[in-house]
Amino acid sequence: MSFLDNDYREIITKAVIGKGKKFTQATHSISPSHRPTSILGCWVINHLYNAKKASEDTVEISGSYDINVWYSYNDNTKTEVVTERVTYNDVVPLGIKDDNCLNDDFDVICKVLQQPNCLECKISNQGHKIHVEIEREFLVQVLGDTKVYVKVDPKGFKYDDDDEWDYAVTDDELKEIDPDFLESANKVRTKD
């Protein structure tokens, strides 16, 4: 089959040429200013990230977020919130990829499937640090220029501008229209 004959056309288009997904769990160690007695709450905020193609088979996501831990100290008589900025680099392997890309000009689309979220927050065995377990998940798509071959159907549908589209309503169709249709559909029927 030759793609250079009149039955085929080459279409150059931007398409998804790579796709991958990665779920990550990470444990961070936070050092509060006081020895914690108990954990009162933990939340993750201010998530920022950027994705770029790192190699033929991977996309690298660089990001950061703030971990806030509310804890009590001094035998549960005082409380404080400690905040720590955490940075990360996730390398996402491309499970699905098209090796027929025309050039090295790529766009990367990165979607967060699971925002960084606290799974567990606990005081370490020594009692001076707080360990926070975080989960996050990303979906990445790499867009690039690729070539698609399509077969032209010589007997395919041809639209002629001279064709008349007749949408006129006939007299018989007008007689069948019930002018009270909407009004009767909106009436509430009651029993005697």
Domain contains 180: no
The reported pLDDT for the residue numbered 106 is 85
Domain contains 90: yes
The reported pLDDT for the residue numbered 1 is 46
The reported pLDDT for the residue numbered 192 is 45
CA dihedral 54, 116, 48, 14 (to 10 degrees): 50
Domain contains 178: no
Per-residue tokens: 19: 């796709």
Based on the structure, what is the number of domains in the chain? 1
Domain contains 170: no
Domain contains 175: no
Closest by CA to 42, choosing from 76, 63, 77, 66, is 66
CA distance 116 to 25: 9
Provide the terminal-to-terminal Cα distance of the chain, rounded to the nearest Å.
Answer: 78
The reported pLDDT for the residue numbered 43 is 96
Range of the domain at 38: 8-151
Domain contains 158: no
The reported pLDDT for the residue numbered 181 is 66
The tens-digit pLDDT sequence of the chain (192 residues) is 445 567 788 888 888 888 999 999 999 999 999 999 999 999 999 999 999 998 888 999 999 999 999 999 999 999 999 999 999 999 999 987 777 777 777 899 999 999 999 999 999 988 889 999 999 999 999 998 888 888 887 777 666 665 566 677 777 777 777 777 666 555 555 444
CA dihedral 75, 76, 79, 80 (to 10 degrees): 50
SS3 label, residue 140:
strand
Domain contains 46: yes
Cα distances (angstroms) measured from residue 174 to each of 66, 131, 170, 183, 185: 68, 77, 6, 18, 20
Q: Count Cα neighbours of 136 within 13 Å in the Cβ-side half-sphere.
A: 25
CA distance 49 to 65: 9
- Identify the DSSP state of 189: P
Closest by CA to 71, choosing from 100, 39, 116, 112, is 39
The reported pLDDT for the residue numbered 56 is 83
CA distance 186 to 161: 43
Amino acid in position 179: P
Count of CB atoms within 10 A of residue 119's CB? Answer: 12
Domain contains 3: no
